[in-house]
A and B are shown apart, each in its own frame.
Chain A
Amino acid sequence: MSCQEYQRQIVLSLYEELDDSERAGLETHLLGCTGCRQSYEEHNAFCNALAEDKTAWEFPSDLLVECRRGLADQLDRIETKRSWWRMPAFSVVFTPMRMLESATLIALGLAFGVYISNHQVSAVGPSAGDSPAAMALSAVPQNSRVSNVRIVNTGSDTATVEFTGDVVQPLRFTGKLEDDTTRRLLFSALQDSMNPGSRMQAVEVLARKSSEPSVKEVLIHALLNDENLNVRLKAFDGLKPFADDDDVRAAFMQALMSDPNDGVRVAVIDALAPFTKSEAMANSIEAVTRNDDNTYVRLKGQGLVHSVGDQR
Chain B
Amino acid sequence: MNLRLRLTLLVALMLPLNLFGKCPITADGRLVLRAPAGNLIVDTTGSDSVDIDVSNRQVVVHETCRRETVEISAKAPASIGIPDWKIRVPKGVTLDLSTQGGSIQIMETDGEALLRTSGGKVTAGNIKGNTLIVGTEIRTGNIGGNAEIRGYGGRIQLGDVGGNAEFKTQGGDITAGLVKGHVKAELGSGSIMIRESNGDVVVTTEAGDIKSEYVHGSFDGRTDSGNIRIERAGSWVKAVTNVGDIFFRLSPTNYSGDLHITAEATLGNITMYVPKAMKATIDAVIEKPPLNGKSRILSDFSLKPPVNALKGLLPGPDRQGATVNGGGNNIKVRTSSGTISIFSLE
Residue ranges of A at the interface with B (Cβ–Cβ < 8 Å): 68-69, 72, 76, 137, 140, 142-147, 168, 194-200, 228-233, 261-267, 294-300, 302-304, 306-307
Contact = CB atoms under 8 A, between A and B. Distances in A.
B224 interface: yes
B171 A229 contact: yes
Given A195-B225, A197-B223, A302-B81, A296 B207 contact: no
Contact of A142 (B79, B120, B223, B290): B290
Interface string B152-167: 1111000000000000
B58 to A, nearest CB: 11
A306 B80 contact: yes
Interface of B: 37, 78-82, 100-102, 117-120, 136-137, 151-155, 170-173, 188-191, 206-209, 223-227, 243-244, 288-292, 294, 310, 313-314, 337
A82 to B, nearest CB: 16
Nearest to B339: A170
A297 B119 contact: yes
Contacts of B314: 69, 72
Given A230-B171, A263-B171, 20 more contacts: A145-B290, A146-B291, A197-B208, A197-B224, A200-B226, A229-B170, A229-B171, A230-B189, A266-B119, A266-B136, A266-B152, A266-B154, A267-B136, A267-B154, A294-B101, A295-B118, A296-B100, A296-B120, A297-B119, A298-B78
Nearest to B118: A295
A74 B154 CA distance: 61
Main secondary structure, interface of A, reads helix
B337 A306 contact: no
A197 B78 contact: no
A300 B224 contact: no
25 contacts: A69-B313, A72-B310, A143-B290, A194-B243, A197-B208, A197-B209, A197-B223, A197-B244, A200-B189, A228-B206, A230-B190, A230-B208, A233-B154, A233-B155, A261-B153, A261-B171, A266-B120, A266-B154, A267-B137, A295-B118, A296-B100, A296-B117, A296-B120, A298-B78, A303-B82
B169 to A, nearest CB: 9
A145 B336 CA distance: 11
Given A299-B78, A299-B82, A233 B153 contact: yes
A142 B137 CA distance: 48
